[in-house]
Structure 1
C-alpha cells in the first residue's frame, strides 16, 4: 500500500511539471505571434488607412514645429550672446579708459597734499609728447631748418587764395619772421613759394585730400588743416595755424602764454563776448524759478590758434577731422564743440586746457571796423599783433587797407569800408 501511494505522488508531480512546461511553451508562442499584446493588436488593426496617415502627418507637423521653435530659440540665444559680448567690450574699454586716465595723472608727477586755503593751483600745462621723426622724415628735416624754439607758423594755401597769401607773406617778411611755412596744396603755390624764397612743404600724394586741397574754397581748405597739422605735433613742434586772410603786424610768438593745450583768438567783439559772461534766460511761465543762468562765450576762431604738442591737442585734431570726414559741417563749429562740450552719459569730453587770446592784440575784423577805427584814442594807442579779416567777404581789399593804416600810416585807409558786408 505504501509503495502504491509513493508511485501515485510521483505521477502527480510529473503531471504538474509537464503542465508547467506546456504553459511556458504556449506563452512563448503567443509572445512571438502577438508581440504588442492581444488588445494593442486589435486596436491597431482597427485603425483605418486614413487614420494612420493622419497620425503620421500630425507627428510630422509636430516635428516641424519643434524644429522651428528650436531654430528661433537658437537665433535669440545667439543675439543675446552678441549683445553680451558688445556690453563686455564696452565695459572693458571704459575700464581701460579710466585706467589710462589714472596712469596719465600719475605720470604727471608724485601725488601731493593740498596746501592752505588760497594757495592751491591746479595743473594747466600738459606735458609735451616725445617727438617721432619716423612719422614724416621729410617734414622733420624741413622743420629743423626753419623752426625757432621748436615752433612754427603754418599756412595752408592753393591757387585760389594766392593774392591774399602774397599780402600775408609780405607782412611776415617785413617782420623778419623766420619760422613761417606754407603748406602748398597745389603745384602753382609750390612754384610761387620757390620763386619768392618762402619755406614750403608739399605733402605726399593723397587722392582724397588732394582733391580738396587743389580745388577747394576757403572753407574746404580750412577743414583740411586738422588732418595736416597732426604730423607737425607728432614731430614735437608747437604750431601757430594761420589762415591766409591775416596780416601780421608784430611777431606773434612774443605774445603767446603757452600755458594751455589750445590758445586761440576769439570771434568776440567785447570783453563779455570774447571772455565769457553769465547770460540769464527768462521763462515767466516757471514763476518763482523763471530765471535760469547760462554761461556763454563767443566761439574760438579756427583760423588762428596755437597748439602745443600734447596728447590733448592731437586728440582734438583727430576728433575734428573724423567728424568732418563723415558729414558736411562747418569746421569752426566742430572745433568749438569738441573743445567746450563737457562729458555726459555716453560721451567723453576732450580734456584739453584752453586760453582765449587778447582780442585787441589778436584782432578780428569786426573789432577793427566796428569799434577801433571809430574811436580816435584807440586808433592811436591800439596796435594789434595780427588782424584777421574773418567777418568780411572783401578780404583782399581790407587786408591791403590794414597794411596802409598800420604800416604806412594812412589814417583814412579804413574809412571807406562799411561796418559789415552790405
Structure 2
C-alpha cells in the first residue's frame, strides 16, 4: 500500500520543477530546443567546416554556383549562343575538309571504295585540281634526304643535272641564280669533276651513288642522253616529299620563279609555243577537199611542253609520269625525251592504251620565256621589251653561250642593242 502512494512522486521526481511539481509538455519541448541550440553552437565552434568535410572540388565550385544564381544570366546565354555558332561553323568546315580529302584520295587512286558526291547548283560545280602529296619515305635515300632538308625552302627547290660537257653554261646558270638571291637550288653532278667544281664555287651539289646506267651516260652522254636521266633521278626527290623545279642549264634567271607558280596542278611547264594560240591551245581546221561537204575537220592543237623546265609536285600521278617516261626511254633508246614526256602527258585513253590521269598547267610564255619568243617577238616590240621575265630558256638556238651572255647584257646591264645582231633563228 505504501508503495502505491509513492508511485506518483517517483514519476514526478524524474522531471519535476520547482516545488517538485511535474513539468508540462511545453516546458519539455523548450528544454529540448535549448539543448539542441547549445549542442549546435558547440559543434560549430569545434567543427567550422562541418562534421563531414566537402571535397576541395566541391568547395571550389560552390561559390561559383552561388554567384551564378545571383548574377544576371543574359550575357552568359548570349556567349553560349556565340560559342555554339562558332562550333557549328568549325563542324561544317571539318565536314568540308573530310569530303575534299576523301575526293582527293579517290582521284589519286588511293581510296578504298567508291564514294558518291552530290552535285551543286548549275555553274557552281568545280572538280578538285590538286592531288594530295605522297607520304615521304626517307629510307629510299637518307643521304639525299639530309641534303634536301638543308637546301629546300618550303619543301621546294630548283634541280639541274650536269656533267663536264656543260661546265661553262653551268657556271652562268648558278651565277645568275646567286645574283637573283634564290637560295633553294641544287646541282646533280653526273661526274666527279662537276662535283668538285660546284664545291669550289660554294654551290649545293649532290652526287648520286654509283650506278652503271647513270655513270656511263652521265660521264660521256650528250644533252639528250643526260636529259633522259632526269626522270629516273627526279623520282627519288618526289618520294622524299619535295616539289622540284627541273631546270636545264641553258636557262638564265631574272626573278625568283617560286614567286610565280600556281601549285594547283601536278605539273606546271613552260611551253615551246611562241604566242597565245600555240602555247595555250587552239582549234585548227584540217581541210580535205575530197570529202566534199565534210571536207573541214576541226582539230585541237597545242605546242609541246618543254621538258627542260617544269615544276612537278610529289603526287602519285607525277611519279607515274616519271616512271612511264623513264620506262619508255630505256626500252626506246632512239626516242626523244621531250616527245615521250608530252605523249604521256596528253595522249588520252584509247583501245590498248590507258592515258595518264594527271593535272597540268601551261606557264605564262612572257614570264617563262623560250628563246623563240624572245628573238622573234619580244625584242622587236617596244612594250614587250620593258617586261622583265622570270627566266629565258635558250632552247631554240644552238649558239647558247653567246646568246646567254647577250641576254644577260640586255636584261641585267641594260644594254638595249645587245640582242640586235642575232638572227631570229639559227644559221
TM over 0.5: yes
Contact 2:108 / 2:131 at 8 angstroms: preserved in 1? no
Corresponding residue for 1:184?
189
Give 1:350's match in structure 2, choosing from 353, 356, 359.
356
Give 1:359's match in structure 2, choosing from 362, 365, 387.
365
Report the 3-state secondary structure (helix = DSSP H, G, I; strand = E; otherwise coil) of the residue aligned with 2:352.
coil
1:241-390 alignment to 2 at 5 Å? 241-327=246-332, 328-380=334-386, 382-390=387-395
Moved more, 105-114 or 330-339: 105-114
For 1:147 and 1:344, locate their aligned partners in 2 and report how far apart those are by CA, in whole Å.
40
Deviation string 1:176-223 (CA, Å, 9 cap, x unpaired) is 111100000001100111100000000000112211011111111111
How far apart are residue 333 of structure 1 and its match? 0.2
Corresponding residue for 2:226?
221
Deviation string 1:249-291 (CA, Å, 9 cap, x unpaired) is 0000000000000100000001000000000001111111111
Asked whether 1:141 is paired with 2:146, we answer yes
For 1:310 and 1:249, locate their aligned partners in 2 and report how far apart those are by CA, in whole Å.
29
How far apart are residue 104 of structure 1 and its match? 2.5
Deviation string 1:65-119 (CA, Å, 9 cap, x unpaired) is xxxxxxxxxxxxxxxxxxxxxxxxxxxxxxxxxxx97883747996431011100
Give 1:162's match in structure 2, choosing from 161, 164, 167.
167
Moved more, 207-216 or 304-313: 207-216
For 2:261 and 2:192, locate their aligned partners in 1 and report how far apart those are by CA, in whole Å.
33
Corresponding residue for 1:129?
134
Report the 3-state secondary structure (helix = DSSP H, G, I; strand = E; otherwise coil) of the residue aligned with 2:383.
helix
Contact 1:108 / 1:127 at 8 angstroms: preserved in 2? no
For 2:173 and 2:140, locate their aligned partners in 1 and report how far apart those are by CA, in whole Å.
29
How far apart are residue 127 of structure 1 and its match? 0.6
Contact 2:106 / 2:115 at 8 angstroms: preserved in 1? no
How far apart are residue 414 of structure 1 and its match? 0.6
Considering fraction of residues, name the structure with more helix: 1
For 2:350 and 2:335, locate their aligned partners in 1 and report how far apart those are by CA, in whole Å.
22
For 2:113 and 2:373, locate their aligned partners in 1 and report how far apart those are by CA, in whole Å.
40
Corresponding residue for 1:4?
none
Unaligned 5+ segments in structure 2 are: 1-104
How far apart are residue 148 of structure 1 and its match? 0.2
1:20-35 alignment to 2 at 5 Å? none
How far apart are residue 379 of structure 1 and its match? 0.7
Unaligned 5+ segments in structure 1 are: 1-99
Contact 1:280 / 1:294 at 8 angstroms: preserved in 2? yes
Q: 1:102 to 1:142 in 2, by over 3 A?
A: closer
For 1:291 and 1:124, locate their aligned partners in 2 and report how far apart those are by CA, in whole Å.
34
Q: 1:166 to 1:109 in 2, by over 3 A?
A: farther
Report the 3-state secondary structure (helix = DSSP H, G, I; strand = E; otherwise coil) of the residue aligned with 2:109.
helix
Report the 3-state secondary structure (helix = DSSP H, G, I; strand = E; otherwise coil) of the residue aligned with 1:376.
coil
Name the TM-score, length of structure 1 as normaliser. Answer: 0.75
For 2:108 and 2:280, locate their aligned partners in 1 and report how far apart those are by CA, in whole Å.
33
How far apart are residue 317 of structure 1 and its match? 0.4
For 2:160 and 2:319, locate their aligned partners in 1 and report how far apart those are by CA, in whole Å.
18
Give 1:232's match in structure 2, choosing from 232, 237, 243.
237
For 1:103 and 1:250, locate their aligned partners in 2 and report how far apart those are by CA, in whole Å.
33
Corresponding residue for 1:175?
180
For 2:374 and 2:303, locate their aligned partners in 1 and report how far apart those are by CA, in whole Å.
17
For 2:306 and 2:415, locate their aligned partners in 1 and report how far apart those are by CA, in whole Å.
28
For 2:138 and 2:321, locate their aligned partners in 1 and report how far apart those are by CA, in whole Å.
21
For 1:230 and 1:109, locate their aligned partners in 2 and report how far apart those are by CA, in whole Å.
29
Corresponding residue for 1:195?
200
